[in-house]
Amino acid sequence: MAQQAYMTETDNGSSGPEHRTSRLRRVLDRLAGGWRGDRRVWRRGIVLAVCAVLLALVMLAHAHIPNAIGNLGSLIETFLPWLGLFVPLLLLLGLLRRSATALIATILPAAVWLNLFGGLLTDKTAAGGDLTVATHNVNADNPDPSRTARDVAASGADVLALEELKATEVPTYEAALAGTYKYHAVVGTVGLWSKYPLSDVQPVDIRLGWKRAMRATVTAPAGRVAVYVAHLPSVRVKLEAGFTARQRDKSADALGEAIAAEPLPNVVLLGDLNGTMNDRALKGVTAQMRSTQGAVGSGFGFSWPASFPMARIDQILVKGAEPESSWTLPATASDHLPIAARVRVTTSTD
Domain C-terminal end among 63, 90, 121: 121
For the stretch 28-85, pLDDT in tens is 455 455 555 566 778 789 999 999 999 999 999 999 998 877 778 888 999 999 999 9
State whether 192 and 268 are in the same domain: yes
* Domain harbouring 140, CATH code: 3.60.10.10
* Residue 33: inside a domain: no
For the chain, what is the domain count?
2
pTM given for the model: 0.84
State whether 254 and 304 are in the same domain: yes
Cα separation, 314 vs 90, whole angstroms: 32
- Are the C-beta atoms of 311 and 78 separated by less than 8 Å? yes
pLDDT at 120 over 50: yes
* Residue 14: inside a domain: no
Output the DSSP codes for 52-81: HHHHHHHHHTGGGS-STTTTHHHHHHHTGG
State whether 234 and 322 are in the same domain: yes
Residues making up the chain, counted from first to last: 350
State whether 66 and 213 are in the same domain: no
pLDDT at 16 over 70: no
Domain C-terminal end among 61, 92, 121: 121
For the stretch 188-201, pLDDT in tens is 999 999 999 999 99
Cα separation, 230 vs 271, whole angstroms: 5
For the stretch 136-172, pLDDT in tens is 999 999 999 999 999 999 999 999 999 999 999 999 9
340 vs 122, higher pLDDT: 340
At 26 the pLDDT is: 59
State whether 219 and 306 are in the same domain: yes
- Domain residues for 46? 38-121
Amino acid, single-letter form, for residue 119: G
**Residue 36 CB coordination number (10 Å):** 8
With a pLDDT cut of 90, the percent of the chain lying above it is 71
**Over residues 91-118, mean pLDDT:** 94
